[in-house]
Chains A and B, each alone.
Chain A
Amino acid sequence: MSSPTRHRVIALYKQLSYLGREYPAGADYFHKKLKSAFLKNKDLTDPAEIQKRIDLGDYICKEIEAMYHINKYRAMKKRYYEDTQAENIQKKIESTNWADGGQAKH
């Protein structure tokens, strides 16, 4: 069972689980998805394939952080800045699909 990537995978799981506590759709929803995503790949043996999944996990971490930041930034913008510039930025943010990559597809 022990492998060189074992610690890396556990750390990734913990980090994602930690990030999921603030997930807009609820921590429970996130955690279920997270667990099933990890379980799905539990039998992987090819090191290259495992590394690919870990990279995907790291990418998802970054996307979630970006999503949280954008949510906060947008809330602040909406509350405290009411000029056309803010509206333009808001429109730009809304037309960009930030959250999509943040959610595990599998």
Chain B
Amino acid sequence: MSSNLRILVACKRVVDYAVKIRVNAAGTAVETANVKHSMNPFDEIGTEQAIQIKEKSGGKVEVIAVSCGSDKSQETLRTALAMGADRAIFVESAEELQPLAVAKLLKAVVEKEKPDMVILGKQAIDDDSNQTGQMLAGLLNWPQATFASKVELAEKAMTVTREVDGGVETIKTPLPAILTTDLRLNVPRYASLPNIMKAKKKPLTKLTIADLAVDVKPRLETLKVTEPPKRQGGKLVESVDDLVDKLKNEAKVL
């Protein structure tokens, strides 16, 4: 295991997975006001992976959590700190950021912090873009290991097992590299109460988009957001004849 590794973990604040998603009245976005938010589950897995690498190394690894977004994204960073990250970087943006903008911001942070590895969730559960990690790898011209379900670190290299269609693929890549996490990589820990208290004292650096001099103008425009069609209720039938009749005349499958 190489010494003094530095790992950057990206954490996105998203609407909690258990919340029933509603489309806003105008049909342009998902309702986010007064809705419970939490860290993107795939980013939790990424944070856990970074902390596990740190624990295995005996503390020679520094884990930096980074989040871009509204003021409240700091809560997500505190969660990452409570899980065990060493410090956090918060990039403030009043506007909604698209994957390309986040990738550019992360690139600027990477150039500042010079990490050996950047871990991201494979996708966020709000926009399901599955783009940020790949775009960041492209912008930095770094190797990428996406959809990781197993990671083994060696000196200046890592071996990653990836989830691909119908099986797994094992690849080896030199560091620095980008890693995006799949669901089966690990079991994220639940931060304990004392650790949450301690996390409040850990350093959190605030940056603005102007500090990083990045163009975050949206390239995509959301035209319409609609809810999936409602499932029609089932019907009870009285007899076999009734069933055959309904299949013939209503369902029209016979």
Give A contacts to B, CB under 8 Å: 11, 14-15, 18-19, 65, 68-69, 71-73, 75-77, 79-81
Q: How far is the CB of A74 from chain B (nearest CB, A)?
A: 10
* Contact with B183, one of A68, A71, A73 (Cβ below 8 angstroms): A73
User: Which of B183, B187, B192, B196 interacts with A80 by CB under 8 Å?
Assistant: B183
B41 at the interface (CB under 8 A from A): yes
**Residue of B42, B188, B193 touching A18 (CB-CB under 8 A):** B193
Assess A14 versus B183: contact at CB under 8 Å? Given A72-B17, A75-B18, A76-B17. no
Pick from B18, B183, B190 the residue with the most CB of A within 10 Å.
B190
Q: Which residue of B lies closest to A18 (CB)?
A: B193
Given contacts A69-B190, A76-B125, A76-B183, 15 further A-B contacts (CB under 8 A): A11-B193, A11-B194, A14-B193, A15-B192, A15-B193, A19-B190, A68-B190, A69-B187, A69-B188, A71-B18, A72-B17, A72-B41, A75-B18, A76-B17, A77-B183
Q: Which residues of B are in contact with A by a Cβ distance under 8 Å?
A: 17-18, 41-42, 125, 183, 187-188, 190, 192-194, 196
Interface of chain B: mostly helix, strand, loop or mixed? loop
Contacts of A68 in B (CB 8 A): 190
9 shortest interchain CB distances as A-B pairs: A65-B190, A18-B193, A15-B193, A75-B17, A76-B183, A14-B193, A72-B41, A76-B41, A72-B17
Chain A residues with CB under 8 Å of B183's CB are: 73, 76-77, 80-81
Task: Give the residues in chain A near B18, CB-CB below 8 Å.
Answer: 71, 75
For B41, list chain A residues within 8 Å (CB).
Answer: 72, 76
**Contact residues in B for A75 (Cβ distance below 8 Å):** 17-18
- In this complex, the member of A11, A15, A71, A80 whose beta carbon has the largest number of chain B beta carbons within 10 angstroms is A80
When C-beta atoms are compared, the residue in chain B nearest to A73 turns out to be: B183
- A18 to B191, alpha carbons, bound, how many Å? 10
Chain A, Cβ-Cβ closest to B123: A80
Closest to A81 in B: B183
